[in-house]
């Protein structure tokens, strides 16, 4: 088990229990009497490292939430948006889903207080909401010419923020409890998406190259432009179609590398085995 030294106390990073010991256990293999796991006791700087990992976990959740909001929000905007903007129910569903995923991701990477990590993924929204509400109240109190009714509790935007924060807190608790299942699911999902994406990518690249072959043949037989035909077939076609495939594959490899680094960085503390790909 991995114990974190707190004076003469050692804390298991797997189950969170604290063990009192009259002797120095640092650098030894000790079996936790609560969860039964054992591992080399970390160095004395583990506490600072653990704090940094918790902060990074929250940042990862925030980034994931932002990416999901963009990836899912743009198609929803084009499908459901009207002149008055996005329907409130669609916006609420999107924000609740994003908050849940972000909170669960942050909670799955911390040892304790997953609800707090989940809540902090919505920290920017909370800060912005507080600033906006404070500014409105300040204007209404100081400017006598501003006379309009504003019920804060009935504001749709404020209700979305409140619901998102609650959902993120619950998701953080769930993520902390089922972290292995979450990361196992993410690994399989990532592999499935990567396989489907590669199949679609090669299909699109092949169709693109066929298009350039068509342009080259058209230039040769209809216009009699041999150089133009060779340009489409030998230069533009391979460069754009297969070069685009290589570029997208490179981006995908970068995402896989980042995923592996994050997983392996948290693996020793969370009881995961390192990825071998």
CA distance 15 to 270: 9
Q: What are 266's two structure tokens?
A: 């948290």
E strand or H helix at 183, and its extent? helix 179-221
The tens digit of pLDDT for each residue in 211-249 reads 888 888 888 888 788 888 888 888 888 888 888 888 888
Q: What is the pLDDT of residues 47-88, one digit of tens each?
A: 556 678 888 899 999 988 888 888 888 888 888 888 777 888
CA distance 219 to 213: 10
Q: Is it the case that residue 9 has pLDDT exceeding 80?
A: no
pTM: 0.65
The two three-digit tokens of residue 102, written as one number: 């972000």
Calculate what percentage of the chain has a pLDDT beyond 90.
11
DSSP H or E segment with residue 30: strand 29-31
For residue 126, count other CB atoms closer than 10 A to its CB: 15
């Amino acid at each position: 088990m991995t114990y974190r030294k707190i004076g003469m106390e050692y804390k298991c990073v797997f189950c969170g229990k604290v063990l009192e010991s009259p002797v120095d256990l640092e650098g030894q293999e000790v079996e936790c009497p609560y969860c039964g796991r054992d591992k080399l006791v970390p160095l004395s700087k583990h506490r600072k490292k653990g704090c940094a990992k918790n902060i990074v976990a929250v940042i990862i959740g925030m980034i994931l939430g932002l990416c999901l909001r963009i990836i899912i929000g743009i198609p929803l905007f084009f499908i459901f948006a009207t002149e008055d903007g996005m329907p409130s129910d669609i916006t609420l569903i999107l924000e609740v889903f994003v908050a849940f995923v972000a909170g669960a991701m942050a909670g799955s990477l911390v040892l304790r207080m997953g609800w707090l990590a989940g809540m902090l993924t919505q920290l920017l929204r909370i800060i912005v909401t507080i600033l906006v509400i404070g500014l409105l109240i300040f204007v209404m109190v100081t400017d006598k010419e501003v006379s309009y009714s504003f019920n804060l509790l009935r504001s749709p935007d404020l209700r979305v923020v409140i619901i998102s924060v609650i959902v993120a807190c619950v998701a953080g608790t769930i993520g902390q409890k089922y972290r292995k299942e979450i990361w196992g699911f993410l690994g399989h999902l990532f592999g499935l998406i990567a396989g489907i994406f590669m199949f679609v990518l090669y299909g699109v690249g092949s169709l693109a190259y066929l298009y350039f072959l068509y342009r080259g043949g058209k230039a040769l037989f209809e216009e009699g432009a041999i150089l133009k035909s060779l340009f489409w077939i030998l230069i533009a076609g391979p460069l754009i179609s297969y070069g685009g495939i290589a570029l997208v594959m490179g981006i995908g490899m970068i995402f896989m590398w980042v995923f592996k680094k994050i997983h392996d960085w948290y693996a020793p503390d969370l009881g995961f085995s390192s990825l071998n790909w």
